[in-house]
Chains A and B, each alone.
Chain A
Amino acid sequence: AQSVTQLGSHVSVSEGALVLLRCNYSSSVPPYLFWYVQYPNQGLQLLLKYTSAATLVKGINGFEAEFKKSETSFHLTKPSAHMSDAAEYFCAVSDIRDSGYSTLTFGKGTMLLVSP
């Protein structure tokens, strides 16, 4: 089974600073990778996904992520944080189950705190 590790349960940045949220995955096959964001009392919203095309993936709200196979990483970045970016972020990998069908395995999440 695949797994996802998100380093840091909480990350704090100042408004305007670089955002870097780390995600490492384990996968025995070329993976599909996703980043989702969750605002309080809401469901998950897709930020971006990697499906073996370009290694640098651009998403919504100015976020992007780079797939690095040699490092098994898919870190999420944004050049300049905004107060509205404060939320919990989840990295996920497609996972082939015993049934032969795939589903998503999520990391534990990283709470992004943005201070003025």
Chain B
Amino acid sequence: KAGVTQTPRYLIKTRGQQVTLSCSPISGHRSVSWYQQTPGQGLQFLFEYFSETQRNKGNFPGRFSGRQFSNSRSEMNVSTLELGDSALYLCASSTRQADTQYFGPGTRLTVL
């Protein structure tokens, strides 16, 4: 069974731009969670979707948003990028809410 895939793997943007990251969960998994990983703050939870509904949201500004489609694929969007948004963005999927999460390789976002 294929693992979690994330596209693109690397992105370079400039301040003020917006970006969309994509995540395809493991087949049969209906829950998708997003995390931001930085050297200073570590792994921080962004949000979780289950059956196209946002179940949980972390403490991030409204510039960070996401959605989930009927096939369980998920996207997250960051608008008006700031230098501090440079990070590794990780997506994880699970069969159902609160189950073991399996992670993708991440998208490395660099904001210049």
Residues of A within 8 A of B (CB): 32, 34, 36, 41-46, 49, 90, 94, 97, 99, 101-109
Interface of B (DSSP majority class):
strand
Interface check B48, CB cutoff 8 A: yes
Identify 19 new A-B residue pairs, CB closer than 8 A, beyond the known A44-B103, A99-B56, A109-B42: A32-B98, A34-B100, A43-B90, A43-B103, A43-B106, A44-B92, A46-B100, A94-B98, A97-B56, A99-B57, A101-B48, A101-B50, A101-B56, A101-B98, A102-B97, A103-B33, A104-B101, A106-B35, A107-B42
- Interface mask (B89-110 → A, CB under 8 Å = 1, otherwise 0): 0101000011011111110100
Interface check B55, CB cutoff 8 A: yes
A-B contacts at CB below 8 angstroms, number: 51
Return chain B residues, CB-CB under 8 Å to A109.
Answer: 42-43
Return chain B residues, CB-CB under 8 Å to A102.
Answer: 97-98
Decide: A42 and B105 in contact? CB cutoff 8 A.
yes
The answer, among B33, B42, B45, B104, for a CB contact under 8 Å with A43, is B104
Known: A42-B105, A44-B90, A109-B42. A103 touches B56 (CB 8 A): yes
In the assembly, what is the distance between CA of A8 and CA of B105, in Å? Answer: 25
Interface check B4, CB cutoff 8 A: yes
